Every structure is written in C-alpha cells, then in structure tokens.
Structure 1
Amino acid sequence: MQLKDTAFRNSQHLLTEEWLGVSYSKHGKTCLLPGLGFRNDIIIPGASLRWYTSQPDHVLNSYETFLELNQAGYTTGDVNVIRNPWQGDLVRTQMLSLIEPIVADLDDELKVSIDEKFGMDEKDWREIDLYEMVRIVIARGSSRFTVGIPLCRDESYLRRTIDYIDNTILGGLLIGILPRPIRPLFGAFFRILTTLHLRSIRNSLIPLFHSHLSLLQTSPGPEEPCDHLQMMLRYAAANFPSEINLTNFTARISVSNTGSLYQASIAITNALFNILDSDAEYSTIDALREEAATTLVDHNDIWTKATAAQMIKMDSVCRETLRLHAFANRSVFKKVVANGLVTEDGITLPKGAMLSLLAQPAQTDPDVFEAPLKFDPFRFSLAREAIAVAASQNSQSPIFSTGLDSNKGLSNGPPTHPLGKLPLDSTSAINLPFAHGQHACPGRFIVDFEMKIVLAYLLINYDIEVVKREKPWREWATEASMLVKGGK
C-alpha cells in the first residue's frame, strides 16, 4: 500500500527528464504511458507542437478530452456546455474588445474585497488562511464581470460557486481513476452534489436572469450591463435561442467560473508564497512594491493594458510562479476522434486515444532555464531588460547567446524563444500553463490582470509575513500540484 500511495502522490516525478523528457518527448519521440483510470495516454513531443495544435477539431478534439478529465457527465450538470462551450468563445471574441472597462470594474471589486477580507487595522496583525481568503476575493472579482453588482457580493452565491468548483475538481479526479464499469455507481453521488449546488446557484440567479432577459426586447444601449451574462444572452438570442433558459445558463456560468476562479486563486496564492520565500535573497517585496507604486503613479492609478505591461518585474514573478507551480503536469489535452492520424515521427494514433504534452518538464528544462527548479523572481524581467538594452545599443543581446537557437530550438526539442521576449499571458512550447493554440485558455488575459492587481494592491497597502508553515506549501497528487491547506 505504501508503494502505491507514494507512486500515486508523486507520479509527477515519473514524468521528469530522466524517464520521459530525455528518453522520449525531449528527443521528438511520441510515447505511450499508463494513465489514471485504466487508460493509456499518449505524450506528444514538444517538437511537434505546431503540427499538434494545427489539427482541426474533427481530428483532434479538446472538448472531448475535457469530458473525460472532468467526468463532466457527473460533475457539470450538462455535458453540452463542454461539447459546445460558446460561453467561453464569447470571452475570446467579445470580451477582449471591452477589456479596459471590464478591468476597471475588476480593479474596483478586488480592492473592496481585499479590504473587507484582509482588514483595515493598521496597528494589529491579523492571521488568515491565505488560500481560502484569496479564493473568496477572486470569486468576488470574477463574479463582478460574470454577473455584476450586487450578486457578486452575495456570500451565499459565492460559497455555492466555490462548492460547485470543488465538487467538479474532486469528482473529476476520483471518478476518473476508477474502472469504467463502476464509475456510474460512484458518479451518482457526485451527480447529486452537482444538482444541489446548481440548484442553489440557479436560485440566486433568478432575478438577475429575468431582468437581463427583458433587455433583449430592445437594441443594446449605453446603459446595458457589460457583464458576461448579458453577453451570453445576446449571443444565444442570435445563435442558440433554444438554449435561453435559466437551467442551461446556470450550468454555463458555473463551468466558466470553474476555469477562471480555480486557476487564478491557485496562481495568486502560489505567487504570494513564492514572494515571501524569495524575499530574503532577492528583496522581492521591496522591488515589486516600488515598481507597482511607480507604475500606478505614471498611469494615474488606472489599470490598463499599458499599466500591466509596464510592471515587468511583477510579470516575471507571475510567470515564474506558473512555470514552476502550474496546476497540472501536462497541458494541451486532446482526444483522437478520427481514424488514420499519423504523428510526425510515424506513429498511427488510435481513435479514442488521449493525447497531451509534458508541460512541467518543458518548463524546467535545464537546457533552456538556468537552475530550472529554483524560483528566481526576476528571471524573465532581467532577460527583458537585457533585450531592451541590447536593442538600444543596436547590438546582439547576451540572452541570445545561451546555447539556444531562438529560431530553430533545441535539436529534436521544442522551439524556444529568448526568455524575456514574451509576457505572462503568452503561450509557447516552454510556457504552457494556459495551454497553446486555438484552444488556449481565453480567460488568461483576465488572470493576468487579476494576479497583478491583487499582488500590487496587497504589497502596496499591507505587510505580509508567514506565521504558520508546518509542511511545504504544496504537494503533488497524481499529476496535479495541490496547495496544502492551512498555510498562514
């Protein structure tokens, strides 16, 4: 039992450079490995990333993979919201054009929430469970965009939303490791929980849904709410009128929240832990505090794309956090849904196979990153500064002379780029927390703002110290990096 338990909790180590990274994936070889739930998973090498992400959905399908990974039939309430996730496409196609007014509301809500949850006492210290506090702050901020005021400040609604997310994550893991014949028995329990959570969320949405629905009788005007719910209603009215019902919209909003709240909450908590741990060596807090304060003065305390882009040290801390402590060991999941697909190295992929890339080994590759397992808060900002200096001198930057060819990449390995070239919300073969390609996380631009707004506001307005650390901040459970509860 001990051997099995250790393997289960530390399977991330099985996918490191020694076993797969060097022998297979890093050298351009497709390989098969046993996966959870009595299935076999196929690992696509990073060198094939462009080929892999260019395959159309009728050949390699991301959504079918999410059905399996999340056990959506038991944990979402409606599998159609995964198979046809048009609510997520709206984030990609419409939200980005409205990013700055959305970020203004996000900034307002996050600051109000932080002050309420972290307190305003300037004399006495307050002890908090960091992850739980960050979760409720992010739930409020994200809900400001999703459903607006006042529902985003309804504690009952926020708690039920978080309960739904926890149920989805836990159910996907526990049901997924079981043999298929007995999944329905165990899945029935999670389906009951899902139904109860969605019923509670639905009840909270009733008045808001009907008030927004009435606005469809007129053309959009300047007073129309700029929230995700209203965007969804307008889009559904034009494209999926049969889906305009409260039950369907409750499921779609809840699924959207699962992606946005979970990723952002874990990322911000990990970033804060990393900032505290690295402060003694790098003076991380002072450097970030000074950069944030100066940048906000330059931009009249208004968050815009330019504000976020100017905070290159903050961006570096966030990206370094996701490089080392992203939620999953693998990324860019797809399922083979057509016959006869052959990889670039000549392997025929069977229909129904689950595919993915190894993200953690790629992001900790010693041929790309110096001291790859060390958290270096300014790894990427120093690289960007070096590139800027080199450009101003019209000469070659030292960062290009690292033994890498930035155009060709490693031999038989993933294509690389200068470490400082791309920001947090970019994606590449060595930056996969948000996946890559046409199905890369559409909400990553909001996560970028959420991380920087929260970190900047906390560091400028609060002093933070660790008061309780009985065990490491995080540990691997199968292939997921999980925060250990109780970090204060």
Structure 2
Amino acid sequence: MEVFRALSVFVTIFFISYIWDRFFSLQGLPKRLPWAGASSNAISRAKAVRRSWFGLRELIQDGYYKHSKHEQIFVLPNLATGPEVILPSSQLKWLLDQPDHVLNQRQVNDEFLHAKRTMLHPNIPRDTVHGHVIRRELTKDIDNFVEAMAEESLYALDINWGVNTQDWVEMSGYEMMLDIVGRISNRVLVGVPLCRNPDYLRCSSTFSRNVVLSASALNLLPRLWRPLFAPVIMAYDKYQYHKIARHVNPIIKKRMATFEPGLDYRNPNYSKHNDYIQWALHDAFSHEDLEERTTEMITKRLAVLSFALIQSSVITVTNAIFDIACSPDSVEIQQSLREEIQRVMADNAGKEWRKGSLAKMVRLDSTFRESMRLWGFISRGVMKKVVAPEGVTLPSGDFLPKGTNVGITSYAVQHDESVYKNAFKFDPFRFSRPLENPLAKGARPLSMVTTTDDFMAFSHGRHACPGRFFASTQLKILLAQIILNYDIALLAKRPENLWFNNTMAPPMWDSLQVRRRPNTVMEFIPPPSCRARAASNTATFIPEEARRILEAKMLQGCAPSTGLSCPMIINS
C-alpha cells in the first residue's frame, strides 16, 4: 500500500511538472518578450500553447503583423518543441551568419524528427554520408537520370491514373502521388525491377509517411517517458523497415560479392549499376567505421534517404496539382504549360528529356515555386538552436539561454501583401512572367530551387536543403508528363491543407478527376510469342490487355524506350 501511495505521489508530481513546463513555463526566455496569441499572464500563454497544435498558422500571422512588421521580436508558442523566439526579417542576415557552434540548424531538425530514434541508427543523423551522396551523385550527375525518371513517371501514371481517354476518372490526390513519386525516386535509388515491386513500394512509402507521425507522437511525450514509449511508437516503422530489408538485402549482398573498392562505378566497363546502392557501397568501403560496410547499415540509410526524397516531393506535387485544378483559369494554365513543354521538347533534336530542357520550362518551374510559396511543407524558413553553453545575445540585446530555438517564419513573409501582390492567390506564372516579357530586361530568374529572404520553402543560407535540385528535377518531369498526357478537371473549391503543428499537410483525403488525353496511349505490337492471339501481325492489343502486358514486362525490367521484347507504337 505504501509503495502504491508513493508511486501515485511520484506520478502526480511528474505530471504537474510536465504540464507546467509545457504550458506555463517561460523556459528561461526574457519576460519582456511578447507571446503570439497571448497576453502576459501564464493562463493566456497556456491557452496559446494548446492552440499551437492545430492553429499555429493563426499564431504565426498574429505575431508577424503585431510584432515582426514593427521590427520586434516575439515568442511563438509551440506544444511540440517548446516556445520559439521569432526574429523580424531584418535580422535574417545576423541569424544566417552565426557559426554552427553557436546556433545550430541541424540540431533543430534532428530533435523535431527525433532522428536518433526515427532514423533507425544513431550514426545516420550524426554523420554526413547522405549529404555527400546527394551533392555528389544526385545533384552533380542528375542529367544521367533524367531519361529514366521520365520513363518511370509515365509508367507510374499509366498504372495509377490509367489510360481512359473517354471518361473522367476520380483519383485520390495524395495517395496516388505517394505511389507515383515513390516509383520515380526508387528508380534512382534501387533501379529496375525493384522500383516496380508493389510490396517494396508499399513498405517504402509507408515508412516514409510514418516518420513524421512517429516523431510528432514522441514530441508530445515528456522527455523521461520517450525512451520507454519510443519502442512501442516505432514498432510499426521497424516492421516496415524489415520488410524493406527483405527486398534490398539480397541485392546488396550480391553486389558486395563482386564489389571492388577503387573502381569507377560510373564506368559501364566496371559496373552496370549506377544507383544509390552502388554509391552506398562505394562510400561504405571508404569509411573508417566497419559497421558502415554491413548490409544492415546500407539498408537503413536507404530507408531514411527514401523518406527524405519522397515525402516532401509528394506534398509539393499534390499541392501543385490541387492549385492548378482549383484555379478559375485551370484550362488556360494547363494549355499554357503544355505549349511550353511541347515547344521546348521540339527544339531538342530528338533528345526529349534533358536537364537543360527542364531549365527552359520557366512556366513549369514558376508553377511549383508559386505553389510552394503558398503552401510549402514547413512553416519556418530558418530555425536554429542555441548550442553555445554561454547562450547568445540577440542584436536587440535580449539574452537567450542554451537550448532555445530562434529563427524566422517563412509562412508569414510569403503571404505578406507588401512582399507579394495578391499574396493569397495562386498565380502560377508570377515568377516566369518577367522572364518572358521582352520589355523586362535583366529580370532575375527565380527558379523553384532559388532561396531568397522572401522565399524559404527549402530554408535559406548554407543549410538550405541539399536535395532540392534532385527534387525539382523529379517534380518538373512528373508534372510535365501529367500535363502532356492528362487533362485535369476543374474543382470548384480548393480543399484545405491540414496544419499539424509546424508542418503543413496537403489535402490528404480529397480527390480530383483526370482523363487521358487522346493520342497519348502507348499500345503494343504483339511480340512473336503472342502473335498467334492477334488477328494479324500488326494488330495491337486493347488498352486493358496492353496495360497488363506492360506491368508484366516492366517487372522484368523491360524499358518501353528500348523496345526489346515488347516493341511499342504511339497512337496518332
């Protein structure tokens, strides 16, 4: 009985201290700083903290217009991360100039995602292997993957959106894009045929989606409880990882058996593989830590990189498609994009998909930049943590102790009417219009990967997202294929995005209608083994049968651009 009573007292004290820390405590911040959505008393602050879980947008706007616009610092309540100090935009340069041993941006991201737990191994968030691979392979050699991604995107659209040229077909926006983007990204990560394996794609996409959900659940727990409950929260993610490993481990082991360190894996005379698995092997065998050379570690890094590449791209393209579909000028927007894509591709002398070609599609690029300006996937442009033991003093003279988050909000700046005219309206050609105006000489090109003081969808400064160049290439290829091959029906009203603390989710459960454009459906000339079933040697299969054959051939690694055993023609 005494033990039970003591335990009850302990739990009660612990619970009260947790509530005080999360909802009422200033956590060492200067008392003079105003709080968004709250007055100076503790009860008002607690109510604002509670609102932050689903109402952070309103708190951001409140603080921005009351304080940031008047060059004042304010505190943004945040139930997940604790209160964050928001600087006015004029102090962005000071924030970016601070060294990493004083203000650290990476630590904010790692703590928000609980990277030591959700990233499967503590080494993964600790070192920079992913950054090296992204910069050296995905960015530098991106042109080598453009054709493959274009091929995979059309194949993925055929499978998910179908080839019905007669009727409008209703499709789930987010769920379909999760599968489509997963296929395209995995074409580069693991190659054919695994990138087309339905079970592998399912577990890879599920793992990618669940990382943020698991991190959010951990953020709500008291710090002392996280080690206890983390294994329970992460159990489903670990299960998905083990399913990924069952597909990937045999491939890694097979390549390890013939891997020769030091050989140029880009040279086809040495290796026929140029994908993440091969890059990871190269990095692993040049790493001092022998654990990096294990199949398990390479697979874990692959799973985490899949999350980094897939989830943000899914959010971005889903938002863009809904923006196009819900615009009053949707038909004209699609026609304008289609005209640009066809014109650029016609100038390529038979080489349809190249990085340089995508760079010329300024309307396509502007569409994404504008959609990301409106929505993005994070509400904060730059956020850093005070890591200096002695704390830091702001330009205003205010002192912040170690452990405080301090930064700039991107959402409010990107929706400021004094920065962007009609800031809440989707204007897809906002950034391309000056480039196409012959009278606007010297217009600065602002692509979707260009970060500025008033566009921080990929953050800003030296820690801007290193994967944004790969993401932009992948996204532009996908949207180009959609515009060329499908019509998107007009939606009367854009579905609301869901604010989930710091993150903005696209319409998760809403649908849109699409229809395959005439004369774009690939059909097969029957290969010799199947011609007995055809009426003549030149007969083509009906679309449904063609699709089944396409699926079977693709799973065997037969690429449509090569012909091989399944030559194809284009209806015209």
TM-score, shorter chain, exceeding 0.5: yes
| Residue aligning to 1:331 | 381
Structure-2-length-normalised TM-score: 0.75
1:219 to 263, 272, 293: 263
| Residue aligning to 1:133 | 176
2:431 to 380, 399, 419: 380
User: Residues 212, 48 of structure 1: CA spacing in aligned structure 2 closer, same or farther, 3 A cutoff?
Assistant: farther
User: Residues 313, 358 of structure 1: CA spacing in aligned structure 2 closer, same or farther, 3 A cutoff?
Assistant: same
The CA distance in 1 between the partners of 2:139 and 2:48, in whole Å, is 48
Task: Write out per-residue CA displacement over residues 364-418 of structure 1, whole angstroms, 9 at most, x where no aligned residue.
Answer: 12111101111111111113334x5332xxxxx7xxxxxxxxxxxxxxxxxxxx7
The CA distance in 1 between the partners of 2:92 and 2:275, in whole Å, is 35
The CA distance in 2 between the partners of 1:86 and 1:24, in whole Å, is 40
Paired letter, 1:320: E
The CA distance in 2 between the partners of 1:437 and 1:230, in whole Å, is 31
The CA distance in 2 between the partners of 1:95 and 1:477, in whole Å, is 30
2:60 and 2:76 in contact (8 A); partners too: no
CA-based RMSD of the aligned residues comes to 2.5
Paired letter, 1:271: A
The CA distance in 1 between the partners of 2:282 and 2:375, in whole Å, is 38
Task: Write out per-residue CA displacement over residues 26-71 of structure 1, whole angstroms, 9 at most, x where no aligned residue.
Answer: 4444433322237221223332323322333222223322221012
| Residue aligning to 1:353 | 404
Aligned-residue offset at 1:466: 5.4
The CA distance in 2 between the partners of 1:161 and 1:212, in whole Å, is 21
| Residue aligning to 1:406 | none
Which structure would you say has the larger RCO, counting Cα contacts within 8 Å and 6 or more residues apart?
Answer: 1
1:275 to 324, 333, 340: 324
Alignment of 1:88-487 (within 5 A): 88-213=131-256, 214-217=258-261, 219-221=263-265, 222-223=267-268, 224=271, 225-242=273-290, 243-280=292-329, 283-299=332-348, 300-338=350-388, 339-386=390-437, 389-391=439-441, 421-465=445-489, 472-487=495-510
1:49 and 1:429 in contact (8 A); partners too: yes
Unaligned runs of 5+ in 1: 392-396, 398-417
The CA distance in 2 between the partners of 1:217 and 1:313, in whole Å, is 44
User: Residues 45, 211 of structure 1: CA spacing in aligned structure 2 closer, same or farther, 3 A cutoff?
Assistant: farther
Paired letter, 1:304: R
* Pairs aligned (count): 458
The residue matched to 2:192 in structure 1 has which SS?
Answer: coil
Task: Write out per-residue CA displacement over residues 339-366 of structure 1, whole angstroms, 9 at most, x where no aligned residue.
Answer: 3433333333321222332010111121
2:153 and 2:478 in contact (8 A); partners too: yes
1:13 to 52, 58, 61: 58
The CA distance in 1 between the partners of 2:240 and 2:254, in whole Å, is 23
2:378 and 2:504 in contact (8 A); partners too: yes
The CA distance in 2 between the partners of 1:250 and 1:43, in whole Å, is 38
The residue matched to 2:505 in structure 1 has which SS?
Answer: strand
Aligned-residue offset at 1:143: 0.8
User: Residues 37, 480 of structure 1: CA spacing in aligned structure 2 closer, same or farther, 3 A cutoff?
Assistant: closer
The CA distance in 2 between the partners of 1:438 and 1:30, in whole Å, is 24
Paired letter, 2:478: V
The CA distance in 2 between the partners of 1:345 and 1:3, in whole Å, is 25
2:261 and 2:285 in contact (8 A); partners too: no
1:31 and 1:44 in contact (8 A); partners too: yes
Unaligned runs of 5+ in 2: 1-45, 512-572
Paired letter, 1:212: R
| Residue aligning to 1:43 | 86
The residue matched to 2:353 in structure 1 has which SS?
Answer: coil
Alignment pair present for 1:81 and 2:124: yes
Paired letter, 1:426: T
Aligned-residue offset at 1:266: 1.0
1:273 and 1:473 in contact (8 A); partners too: no
1:276 and 1:285 in contact (8 A); partners too: no
The residue matched to 2:408 in structure 1 has which SS?
Answer: strand
Task: Write out per-residue CA displacement over residues 145-183 of structure 1, whole angstroms, 9 at most, x where no aligned residue.
Answer: 111111111111111111112221101112212332333
1:30 and 1:347 in contact (8 A); partners too: no
Aligned-residue offset at 1:109: 1.3
Paired letter, 1:192: A
User: Residues 52, 87 of structure 1: CA spacing in aligned structure 2 closer, same or farther, 3 A cutoff?
Assistant: same
| Residue aligning to 1:415 | none
User: Residues 154, 88 of structure 1: CA spacing in aligned structure 2 closer, same or farther, 3 A cutoff?
Assistant: farther
2:152 and 2:184 in contact (8 A); partners too: yes
Mean CA deviation greater in 318-327 or 277-286: 277-286
Paired letter, 1:247: E
The residue matched to 2:395 in structure 1 has which SS?
Answer: coil
Paired letter, 2:404: A
Mean CA deviation greater in 64-73 or 42-51: 42-51
1:66 and 1:82 in contact (8 A); partners too: no
Paired letter, 1:69: F
Percent identical: 30
Paired letter, 2:484: I
Aligned-residue offset at 1:105: 1.7
Paired letter, 1:220: D
The CA distance in 2 between the partners of 1:56 and 1:196, in whole Å, is 39
Aligned-residue offset at 1:5: 7.4
The residue matched to 1:331 in structure 2 has which SS?
Answer: strand
Aligned-residue offset at 1:265: 0.7
| Residue aligning to 1:404 | none
Aligned-residue offset at 1:14: 0.8
2:59 and 2:76 in contact (8 A); partners too: no
Paired letter, 2:297: N
The CA distance in 1 between the partners of 2:197 and 2:407, in whole Å, is 38
2:173 and 2:508 in contact (8 A); partners too: no
Task: Write out per-residue CA displacement over residues 116-167 of structure 1, whole angstroms, 9 at most, x where no aligned residue.
Answer: 2211232343322121111111101111111111111111111111111222
Aligned-residue offset at 1:88: 2.4
The CA distance in 2 between the partners of 1:60 and 1:485, in whole Å, is 35
Structure-1-length-normalised TM-score: 0.87
